[in-house]
Amino acid sequence: GTTCRFDFNKTILTLNNAAGRWSSMLIGNVKLGNTRAFGELVYSEADDLFQSQPAPGQFVDALGRSVNGRFMQPGPRTTRRKASLLSTTFGLEGTLSSLDWDVAVGQGISKVDNQDSNYIDSTLFNAAIANGTIDPTSTNNPTAAVDALRLTPNRNGKSVVKFVNAKVAGSLMELSGGSLGYAVGVQFNKESLRDTPDANQQAGNVFGSIAQAAVDADRDLKAVFGELAIPLLKNLEAQVAVRQDQYSGASGSS
């Protein structure tokens, strides 16, 4: 049709991925009579480096023809991604009369920073082709002209989950097969998510990339549940459970 599509031989296309990971965990317990206090701290980090051939995209050549291809001269597109997770939990559990109980509170925070390089400004790229400053089919364009097109898009994300859980368990009565056990509990979660591409990413002005939408969202979760352990025979038990979850927000559901 009216579009020229091309790509280079796959033998010169590359993809490299380097990754680093580390994590740590600290757990503590303290017994206070019939009560146990506990805490947990987890922290981890990930560092990734991705490199691959320049992104393919659509441009108009000097003769006004639409071309789908790669402008190779900017060099390998590179993404440096750093991520971290911090999770903390504190709680109490114990026995009161014949009841076992526990309550816990905690928070998890996840962060991601995505730094790209060797991408180019789509608007400036097409303008440079139109005025003859850049020939996209060549790898001998002036370095200064290519550098004037470069972008370093940055995208940041953060997710936070806060929670409170509480549960009570015990025995309702004795049956021929054993004790009729029960448990009831409640849960509350508060969640938030932020995802912020930079202005060029949101505008779709990064050559070879689609427009990235920003996200800023929150929701709450409330839940209640109950369980029964029914000993039908000494070696046969039935379990019955019911739970309801209620989510907040315009699309709230239960």
* pTM summary value: 0.81
Task: Tell me the β-bridge partners of 196.
Answer: 156
Task: Tell me the β-bridge partners of 160.
Answer: 109, 192
The whole-angstrom separation of Cα 120 and Cα 132 is 17
pLDDT digits (tens, 9 = 90+) for 228-238: 999 988 889 99
Q: How far is CA 7 from CA 65, 117, 137, 140, 169, in A?
A: 16, 21, 11, 18, 65
The whole-angstrom separation of Cα 91 and Cα 163 is 11
SS3 state at 6 = coil
What is the per-residue pLDDT for 70?
86
| Burial degree of 122 (CB within 10 A; 0-12, 13-18, 19+) | buried
The whole-angstrom separation of Cα 18 and Cα 52 is 12
If you search the block for the tokens 């790898």, which residue do you land on?
Answer: 139
What is the per-residue pLDDT for 156?
97
The whole-angstrom separation of Cα 66 and Cα 5 is 9
Contacts 24+ apart (CB under 8 A), 128-131: 129/59, 129/60, 129/61, 129/62, 130/60, 130/62
What is the per-residue pLDDT for 174?
86
Is the CA virtual torsion 132, 137, 138, 142 positive or negative? positive
What is the per-residue pLDDT for 66?
82
Extract the residue ranges of the chain whose pLDDT is less than 70.
Answer: 1-14, 250-252
pLDDT digits (tens, 9 = 90+) for 19-30: 999 999 999 999
Contacts 24+ apart (CB under 8 A), 21-29: 21/45, 21/46, 21/47
- What's the CA angle centered on 156, arms 150 and 158, to 5 degrees? 175
What amino acid is encoded at 51 in this protein?
Q
What is the per-residue pLDDT for 55?
85
